[in-house]
Structure 1
């Protein structure tokens, strides 16, 4: 900020008797041309201007040049004003901060220097599980269990809240981090007191959850990063990136009667996945935005990871102001947002047509009712073809979209087929039922995607009311739940009189958190789990979430379907995926007459009237004391100390080994010689496959470890809740029950083959044996390696298992960055090379050479020695993309680099 250029572009803005200053884009060199940039890139350009250094003129020129080509190879540094965390990723981040203080202390530095330099908010929202459901005690029971299971973690977070500067914690039972961010934390325009007065700038952030992108609905640029990268950002390190390509998505028209925001977002997700936007920004524009409520924008922005983009950005306009006002933001803030956005060229005007890299368009009037499934959020299926999609999903891959696989099927239906009709008897609540293939065993209104949206929640409530009036009930084998994104949701559902009907169908409040969408669905009734196992039934979950990867929702549920909240209610009534909701009855009314979906689906007018009951005072009341928590949170007693008092017998919080052998200066980078393959993996391996997530199996390495520590199976909790214990997490890495290591035939789960012995072992046990033998490891994979949530343990666990490099066809952005942040080398096959074309079996040894001359994007030699001793060489692309990433890698990781800077 000290450069001559940054001084000359400072401007003043007077508003309601207050004086603000800002960095004006129109006064920068090339300002006239910069006005044509997509608004998301204008935010990045302002960020460069405000933090200007000696390369600022070249960076600004790179932005001008971007307009000519729609892309740039220029590397820039992005410095967000704040960081958002949830507790699953937040706890290990705070563990790392505590460990960094220990390392700085050991190396003779000042412990207090290890402090967030940016504003950090951590929202505890990922730990509540759906143990109790469909009764009035569900919420209280689940919260009690959450506090009992996580007392040690929460005490640790309370310590962090008291110890670290610029660090706030939103206690459990408040809401989902993204919805709290949307409804309260997000400012759109950030204010910062300086020696010269009040500086204003665009509100920007990075978050430790991939769905941080939801905040882009408010014109706030932000996206998910790994916990490692987020820690560096809050410690003052910039997020290094290339100027992104920006795909413009033009929205016109409006949704037809009966269509929901969920139908819209699943359509958008499919379109953008097919177009290809991985690593790119998506910016929505067009006059259709005028009729698109901000909650609908949030639904679309939320699912940017599902369509593969870095973010899905919406510009600031009148609808932004309306939402800020509704949610209780101060009038002075609203005036500031409008004045600054217009002065800086960030305001959306009718007919705006910025320059984009590429464009797509959608007439919202063409959107159809749909679901996505059974295993990927981009696999959209129109509602009438869900029964066929379910049948095709059984035993088949999902390499192509479910909808495309249905083409040419001639409208054949699976309803009535022998397999659909057979059932397994089970007993529940004194009655005998039959569980069939296709049974919906979980129906969950959950997740940040839809529970921020009053229109779809009110639609669910209205439909429940109509169903109850006609005498319909949910199928008895359905585990139903309602997990809103914030307390405001239940407040407006109650005000609109919707809760009694939802509860009559079993949709009682179970907690405020992510629950089912992240695998915290809790156990099914024992008799139902036994029936599924007995005949290996293919059953389903239907949830209003954003993730439906295999093995994620529940280990016994093989097909998972994303749907709008009202369709979640409909499938709870129908009870089976074989039911065609467009023509089959959901059940019978009190008189024995069939009731169809169209009979209870609410009109847009009825939904609008219900949404009108959402009032500002609901938000003001719920967020008035948002950081205080309930009496249980306030009763947690912690002692204030600069460093944490680690407990050796803790199974939740352990001192991690990342910095134990760290020296004050980094060792030279050396070649990787004679590495063994730990796993040979196919395409679309997600971070859910790699990272420990969901429940802990008793016979898994992590389960065995916990039992050795005296932990009973009922107290295992989830992997997510134990992310502060590296012993659990490294044992759970690559341990997903659905992962397929191609080194083994027809084996699912975290197994591998140890060489040269040829013995089949768990991946953890094999890695420890290799570690004892002094053998480095590599992982070989296909396309889109690391897709999914920004799980830092997918990289941390990889490193602790002894993996030095990953060789894949392509990577998802966040995981590639996380691997570098942990000192793991990401390599990409060149040309047509792949594990298939090279005939790799996993028995080979790989040597990676040329690391002493490492540069971003360079080519490295990989020598492959087969089992018979023959060696061949290939070239691989180094996916260290920037100089900053190279620096982090040379230091052994990004946090090692930060510590050494502090010294």
Structure 2
């Protein structure tokens, strides 16, 4: 596509001996589009994107002018078409995306088209990081054992991804046991300013991306605009479809001061998460500015940006400045790229200085960094910050709420004589992209380990400890500093390069510990340096999950309990029996800085020199060939999905939903972890029974995440979370419901299949924040295959709302002040939804007619959360991929 450049903004920028074309924002302002220099940096990036893609079809002059007009109201209802430069994937969401692309090749072939038309048009990087599990721990060869088991469990999936790497253009795969996708992106893939050769001329523009993991936002710390989308939306983006979005509100966060000694970037991000969640930034851009940026290195910025989904924002952006260049140089980027970043940012007025004039924001909040205190977050949500000194009463409240008050001192012995209590830490994990990209907190963890061992302290025997570095560079700098051996001695041996505990791949607890927890229904804790701690996510037996910095993770492995006030009670006793307090083994900022100074650019260059090669096991796999995939009918990992099987060349008309039954009646904060199959597969679950019917032994089940390429497993695991509470079956937990009209209690999957056989449409009813959490496409795909046609909720999480539309499910919102309780819903009702038709407008009002079991009726209005005209088209076609496929067929 060629820009028509109606504003005449194409300019040239010479950097060293290379000349680049670029679309100049100052030139746009000079042409009469006033105020652009006052825009937030994030909106400048969106504006440049529109300038570069202006085609008088998807992008018009009025769209460009609307971004400038945003300054008048600081918000906009203007829909724009945004085209990110690239797409990032991890393997859990990447496998189903490649499965869909393979199925699309089959579909277009069956309809007379060319399969090779189905190809990523934008660069795609898939990093395999979600499949390694902590089976072995606290031993020198833990990483090798876990990596070998990962390859054995996932050989079929990995061979499929390698087929995709060969079959599709513009598609690269970073092999397993290399690093976490967000950290690999931060340390290697991202350029901050992208450039490409078009007709022999280099064009420069901001590096932008979308990713199939909500923590794609981590890259915002490097001045790169990126956020998470569902796999469905990412597939459309890589197939050339623009992302349809409203020009967002932008909340500015003014940072001042600097962190106190002993306060970590993790403490800062937990404070910001609580503050911004309270402020309300869902669906908005967040942009950081102010004098406090001067003392925040990129590693700290990336920690903050990583958790944007936890505070609800689309992104958490840091502008380009000197620290950006320092990080690019440290991580081994070439000097031409670094020079281009500086020259481009300054030419486009995207460069931030300490005394830069403040942009205009929709709203501004302020945080004095010196006020941040050591903290954790939990026990169930990342925004529930608890100051370290308040942890003990917070845990006691948890016991009281669980009707276990007074039991905290009761001891329960394991078979081998270990005494256990409520509040015991059974998992202490340094894991997750949030913190493992940050040398300061990892070096601090190593220093805590060193000081603890010098005092004679040791990890408690009931603690499963692990260190999962975000990249191989982490291992190298810990080794260079000599701190790795102290972590190893405390049981924090490297267990593998991946997300591990943070996504539920914590592996089994030791048998004696697991049995004692189960026998006495102990409320035990996990402490991890991750970003999410939702119910049932970390480990099915762990009910209290606490997010903390890596050095605090080490501390809690030493205490063995979260029922403690570390500001007044000792961590343990030294070799002379004297108490050792937190202050005695906590490193100073100076000590940490001395260790961080040992990190060098040579480490990054060496570790990323051959990043796509992989291990011997990876390279020696047998890989199928061909433009289309040869599906294996007996495979339990990869199956041909049914989404395109009965698809016609033209879409049918959309229509009202008549006489739908309620599949589940849910409360607030239903996360994608509750909806999407995640974690371990229970033998007596529908998915477990299916696998056993196919001859799969229970020990070989693997996880739901590993089987995302098989819709038969995934649809059976949808709404199967052990902690989900369906109000149709009060007092019970898990994926169960009542089937009507008979009222029989059964699994949600079994009820859905019975309704489906009777041709009865289904709806889900829910409270606030439906679909928060990771951007899991199966949280939309699963309900679609179960027969869900609409979700009615009080509010939706941004990514999940678009995923529902992407699968042809209608998101509907109760009017303000109304809820399921306003209409006394109990799940027995029959729902008819009126006003759904081809001419439906974005945000249309839908009439709900509700017939109760006693024959009485109620009528109320709902708001369609199909927010843009593009989304109307996707819904009309039955989903975004069907829309793309039909358009590709038209151009054959």
Query: TM-score, with normalisation over the residues of structure 2?
Result: 0.98
The reply to whether residue 880 of structure 1 matches residue 880 of structure 2 is no
Matched, 1:36 2:24: no
Q: Deviations over 1:593-628 (max 9, x none)?
A: 111111000011100000001011100011000001
Partner of 2:723: 738
1:179 paired residue number: 183
CA distance in 1, matches of 2:363, 2:204: 31
Query: Residue by residue, what CA displacement relative to the aligned partner does 1:86-131 show, whole Å, maximum 9, x if unpaired?
Result: 0000000000000000100111111000000000000000000000
Q: Any idea what the Cα deviations from partners look like across 1:237-280, whole Å, max 9, x if unmatched?
A: 01100000000000011000000000000001111000000000
8 Å Cα contact 2:92-2:708 kept in structure 1? yes
Whole-Å separation in 2 of the counterparts to 1:18 and 1:586: 58
Residue 5 of structure 1 deviates from its aligned partner by: 3.2
Is contact 2:660–2:760 with CA below 8 Å preserved after alignment?
A: yes
Look up the match of 2:297: 293
Q: Kindly state the Cα deviation for residue 855 of structure 1 after the two structures are TM-superposed.
A: 1.2
Would the aligned equivalents of 2:5 and 2:52 in 1 still touch at CA under 8 Å?
no
- Which residue number in structure 1 is paired with residue 849 of structure 2? 863
Distance 1:618 1:14 in 2: 31
- The aligned runs of 1:352-391 (5 Å cut-off) are 352-391=357-396
CA contact (8 A) 2:139 2:493 kept: yes
Inter-partner Cα distance in structure 2 for 1:869 and 1:900: 44
- 1:3 Cα deviation from its structure 2 partner: 5.5
Partner deviation per Cα, 1:449-505 (whole Å, 9 max, x = no partner): 000000000000001000011110011000000001000001000000011110111
Per the alignment, residue 238 of structure 1 pairs with 242
> Is 2:673 the counterpart of 1:668?
no
Q: Counterparts of 2:167 and 2:684 in 1: how far apart (Å)?
A: 38
Q: C-alpha displacement at 1:60, in angstroms?
A: 2.0
Shift of 1:651: 0.4
Residues 477-488 of structure 1 aligned to structure 2 (within 5 Å): 477-488=462-473
**3-state secondary structure, aligned to 2:359:** coil
Alpha-carbon contact 1:30-1:61 (below 8 Å) kept:
no
Give 1:831's match in structure 2, choosing from 816, 819, 829: 816
CA offsets, 1:395-428, max 9 Å, x none?
649xxxxxxxxxxxxxxxx9xx84111121113x
Distance change in 2, residues 1:6/1:295 (3 Å): farther
* Conserved? CA contact 2:467–2:493, under 8 Å: yes
From 708, 721, 733, the counterpart of 1:723: 708
Change (3 A) 1:151 1:778: same
1:406 is matched with: none
Partner of 2:135: 131
2:489 maps to what in 1?
A: 504
Q: Pairwise mapping of residues 190-589 of structure 1 onto structure 2 (< 5 A)?
A: 190-195=194-199, 197-351=201-355, 352-394=357-399, 396=401, 418-427=406-415, 431-589=416-574
Deviations 1:761-806 (A, max 9, x none): 1000000000011100000000000000000000000100000000
Deviation at 1:515, TM superposition (A): 0.1
Following TM superposition, by how much is the alpha carbon of 1:831 offset from its aligned partner in structure 2, in angstroms?
Answer: 2.8
Structure 2 CA distance for aligned equivalents of residues 434 and 268 of structure 1: 38
What SS does structure 2 have at the residue aligned with 1:652?
A: coil
CA deviations 1:817-870 (Å, max 9, x no partner) are: 000000000000113221111100000000011112421001011110111222
**Which range moves more in the overlay, 631-640 or 499-508?**
631-640
Contact 1:30/1:64 (8 A) holds in 2: no
Aligned mates of 1:30, 1:771 — CA distance in 2: 59
- Does the 8 Å contact 1:257/1:603 carry over to 2? yes
State the partner residue of 1:777. Answer: 762
Q: Give the Cα separation in 2 of the matches to 1:330 and 1:657.
A: 46
- Runs of 5+ consecutive residues of structure 1 not aligned to the other structure: 398-413
User: Which of 637, 641, 652 is matched with 1:652 structurally?
Assistant: 637
CA distance in 1, matches of 2:791, 2:366: 37
1:56, distance to aligned residue in structure 2 (A): 2.6
Give the drift of 1:139: 0.5
Contact 1:229 1:894 in 2 (8 A): yes
Distance in 2, matches of 1:287 and 1:30, equals: 32
Count of matched residue pairs: 882
The residue that corresponds to 1:698 in the other structure is 683
Report if the CA contact (8 A) 2:34-2:68 is conserved: no
Provide the secondary structure at the position in 2 that maps to 1:35.
helix
Q: Distance in 1 between matches of 2:829 and 2:104?
A: 38
- Counterpart CA distance in 2 for 1:446 and 1:722 is 23
Secondary structure at the aligned position of 1:854 is classed as coil
Aligned ranges 1:96-175 → 2 under 5 Å: 96-175=100-179
Whether the 8 Å contact between 1:209 and 1:225 is mirrored in structure 2 is yes
Q: Does 1:636 align with 2:621?
A: yes
Q: Distance in 2 between matches of 1:463 and 1:418?
A: 33
Q: Which residue of 2 aligns with 1:795?
A: 780
Structure 2 unaligned blocks of 5 or more: none
Query: What CA distance in whole angstroms lies between the structure 1 residues aligned with 2:325 and 2:342?
Result: 8
Contact 2:4 2:55 in 1 (8 A): no
Structure 2 counterpart of 1:21: 21
- How much has 1:53 moved relative to structure 2? 2.5
- 1:46 matched to which residue of 2? 48
**In the alignment, what sits opposite 2:91?**
87
CA distance in 2, matches of 1:654, 1:396: 44
Helix, strand or coil: the match of 2:508? coil
Is residue 210–residue 790 contact of structure 1 (8 Å, CA) maintained in 2?
A: yes
Provide the C-alpha distance between the structure 2 equivalents of 1:97 and 1:2, rounded to a whole number of angstroms: 26
1:854 corresponds in structure 2 to 840
CA distance in 2, matches of 1:880, 1:296: 36
**After alignment, is 249-258 or 861-870 more displaced?**
861-870
Deviations 1:553-591 (CA, angstroms, capped at 9, x unpaired): 000000000000000000000001111111111111111
Cα deviation for residue 393 of structure 1 reads: 2.1
- What is the aligned partner in structure 2 of residue 810 from structure 1? 795
CA contact (8 A) 1:6 1:50 kept: no
Structure 1 position 723, deviation (Å): 0.2
CA distance in 2, matches of 1:339, 1:330: 15
- Alpha-carbon distance in structure 1 between the residues aligned to 2:550 and 2:635: 40
The Cα of 1:137 is off from its aligned counterpart by 1.5
TM-score of the two chains, using structure 1 as the length reference:
0.97
Contact 1:458 1:611 in 2 (8 A): yes
What's the secondary structure of 1:851's corresponding residue? Answer: coil
* Secondary structure of 1:552 counterpart: coil
Task: Work out whether residues 26 and 32 of structure 1, in 8 Å CA contact, stay in contact via their aligned partners in 2.
Answer: no
**Structure 1 residue 598 corresponds to structure 2 residue 583:** yes
Q: CA 1:329/1:379 → structure 2, altered by over 3 Å: closer, same or farther?
A: same
Q: Distance in 2 between matches of 1:273 and 1:864?
A: 34
Comparing 753-762 and 863-872, the one that deviates more? 863-872
What is the alpha-carbon distance in structure 2 between the residues aligned to residue 2 and residue 339 of structure 1? 25
8 Å contact kept, 1:25–1:31: no
> Is the contact made by 2:6 and 2:61 (CA closer than 8 Å) also made in structure 1?
no
Cα contact 1:263–1:369 (8 A) shared by 2: yes
Retained in 2: the 8 A contact 1:49–1:56? no
